[in-house]
Amino acid sequence: MGDYVDRGYYSVETVTLLVTLKLRYRDRVTILRGNHESRQITQVYGFYDECLRKYGNANVWKYFTDLFDFLPLTALIDNQIFCLHGGLSPSIDTLDHVRGIDRVQEVPHEGPCVISFGLIPMTAVVGAFNHNNGLTLVARAHQLVMEGYNWSQDRNVVTIFSAPNYCYRCGNQAAIMEIDEKLSYTFLQFDPAPRAGEPLVSRRVPDYFLGWGLYHMVMHVVSEKDVWKVKVNVGIGDITQRKDKTPTSSTVSLISHPQKPDFSAALEQLLSKYGFTGAPTRAQVIDVPSDLPTKRKTRRWSTFFSHHKPSASGSEHYLNSTSNPGQEPTTTADVGGLMGSIEVEDLFELSRLPLDKLELRRASRAQEIHSRKSTAVQWAKWYDMEGYLGRLEYLESLDHANDGRLVTWVLVPANEPETLEILSTCQTYKRDILVIPAGETRSVQDVGYAIASVFTPIQHRGKGYAARMMSLLHFALARPEGVPSFPKEWGNPPGTYYSRCAPGDGSGWTIVGTRTIEWAVPSRTIELDSGVELLSMEEAVSTFVANAVDFKQHLESRDPSPVLRFAFKPTAGWCRYQMIRDQESPVYVTSPPQSWGARIRHGPETHYIVWTYRPSKDPNPKLIVINIHATSKTFPALIRAAIWVAKKEQHQLVEAWNLGADLSSAIEETRGRVYERTGQLPALKWYGQEQEIDWVDNNK
């Protein structure tokens, strides 16, 4: 029932097997068309790229997509069970209407041909359709269901999903529905088969409340002079509680304390009490295992402590040393239900490594994973560590990043290139650009890089490491003629901030394009303009792709400019990446957004806007415009659609970056507020002779 491609790493093999079975058992196999059996969608979700990767050209993709045009949209079993991919349209009320659809075409954006794609059936529609056509059941696919199948619409509809562990991460079962000669049905559920090179792991949830040493926490405590690795072992002091494995309130309190100032303050007092050099003025607690080299440790120290439960008056929690260093307590009378030990390793003094002894290199896989772990403290948001790493792994597999487009860079000591003591890290995305020289209208294709995820671990900040990394990055990315000679005093060349990250004597990164337009979502009711159509994510990406094909023509249609112009080529992969980045936020998991863009006809053209969502409350949840193709006449209707959706999704702002001067009157008409933002600043470095550069379509 459709979607045989774009659903994993083996789309070619899957659809080839199905077509082969159809040829062998032509009267016993029926292959219906899904919304992914189309040219536009397969260029977005991976089948096109898979064919290129496996065959070196797009011929196989073309043969299959030509074949897809001839696949049937629906099937009828014994005149009683109606099968299709997605859902029903209210405009179709009889089977004869279905038979009259011209299906031999690319999937259109609108019209009756879309009935089998994407539309989720409604109870009233399905009930009437079944009654009018003498049907007992509608069987469909298209929608992930965790058990593999799901009844809905008063059991008029069954959804069957046959892809186990969808996208290798959803953990769902799959199902097959078997129908006998009496039209009785049974469901066969199954789990995913193990994949080569990925052994099954039976993971047991640990019991944290087992008595002494029930909780083990590793932290870095950073002072102005030292870095200490602190191990906290927490045990339940009361014998009865130990036997019953019952956690105390203070146990839970301590486990939650790493982000709380009272625990940090108490830890500072204990460390200061025993005379550590440079006792910390702050306790920066990072709840991840330390991978700092143990060869630099100079001493070990330990003490036992008690953690007093809060009194009824709600006094502060605190740590209290119950013995001299290294000695066990003689009594637990004052333990208050909890006791434990602290071990401290004085790892190394925070001295600045000479910058000429550092090098920038492409990260090994181990360094790549370690750098991701270190960034979790900044960007994990709602994920735990495992979920954060899994999410990054998934994003790395998408079209915008795969096939070597995404590279992680690390700054490390030159004499320890494989070390996991990473001083600073960043990522680059290789992208195609179009360049129009000054005074010309014809463009040429070249290569550009988008730089992201610049991060320095807290213990290495303030040492100039990130600035040196960004300076070295010029020599890693640019052609030799694009940068000056590598300064000898910098050591080994690589295989207010950005502006000083220059390649030797040259200029550094220049912040460009901070003009921002913001629309506040009103409390009053607003209406959609007539003719405006809201778009699902797939419809929004498809509309964007259709316009991207003509992007080069639009760029070259502009009048000659006295300065060089360039633009990143718009791609479906980048558009989709911007849309899905935050879609596992708890805000969107419980209530996924339904609309990702809007379009309107303007003469022979389709004008559109596509956007993404940001759940952050700093300052407010908002829609951010990814791309817009409009004139001053169509812009107001499209931006009002975005505001209407933002209100529906309970977001407070709509934001767009660097809109063209031709839209100024429309921005004023729609009451957009124009300002220069101070965050998420795009910075540019051009490796050419030109001094003035115009970055076209510098948007999200």
- Residue ranges per structural domain of the chain: 11-190, 215-349, 355-508, 515-551+572-679
The catalytic residue among 36, 142, 307, 651 is 36
pLDDT for the residue 599: 95
Cα 628-513-553 angle, rounded to 5 deg: 45
Return the residue matching tokens 């029903």: 88
Is the pLDDT at 309 greater than 70? The verdict is no
588 pLDDT higher than 50: yes
Quote the CA–CA distance of 318 and 272 in Å, as a whole number. 15
Mean pLDDT, the chain, whole residue set:
74
436 has pLDDT over 70? yes
Question: pLDDT at position 195, please?
Answer: 62
Q: Name the residue with tokens 């295992």.
A: 289
Q: Do domains 11-190 and 515-551+572-679 have the same CATH topology?
A: no
- Tell me how far apart the alpha carbons of residues 45 and 470 are, in angstroms, rounded to a whole number: 33
Q: What is the mean pLDDT of residues 384-402?
A: 86
Q: What is the pLDDT of residue 497?
A: 43
pLDDT at 121: 46
Q: One-letter amino acid identity for 87?
A: G
Q: Which of 639, 364, 372, 375 is nearest to 522 (CA)?
A: 639
**Alpha helix segments (H runs only) across 133-284:** 239-244, 249-255, 261-273
CATH code of the domain occupying 11-190: 3.60.21.10
SS3 of 151, please? strand
CATH fold of the domain at 355-508: Aminopeptidase (3.40.630)
- How do strand 653-657 and strand 622-629 relate by DSSP bridges? parallel
36 labelled catalytic: yes
Question: Long-range CB contacts (< 8 A, 24+ apart) of 16-20?
Answer: 19/67
Residue 540 pLDDT exceeds 90: yes
Fold of the domain built from segment(s) 515-551+572-679:
Aminopeptidase (3.40.630)
Q: Would you place residue 147 in the very low, low, confident or very high pLDDT band (cuts 50, 70, 90)?
A: confident
* Residue with the larger pLDDT of the pair 167 and 371: 371
Contact 499, 509 (CB under 8 A): yes
The residue behind tokens 């390793």 is 345
pLDDT band at 90 (very low <50, low <70, confident <90, very high): low
The reported pLDDT for the residue numbered 535 is 95
pLDDT at 213: 31
Residue 391 pLDDT > 70: yes
The predicted pLDDT at position 616 comes to: 74
Mean pLDDT for 45-55 is 80
Question: CB neighbours of 638 closer than 8 A, spacing ≥ 6?
Answer: 532, 598, 599, 600, 607, 608, 609, 628, 630
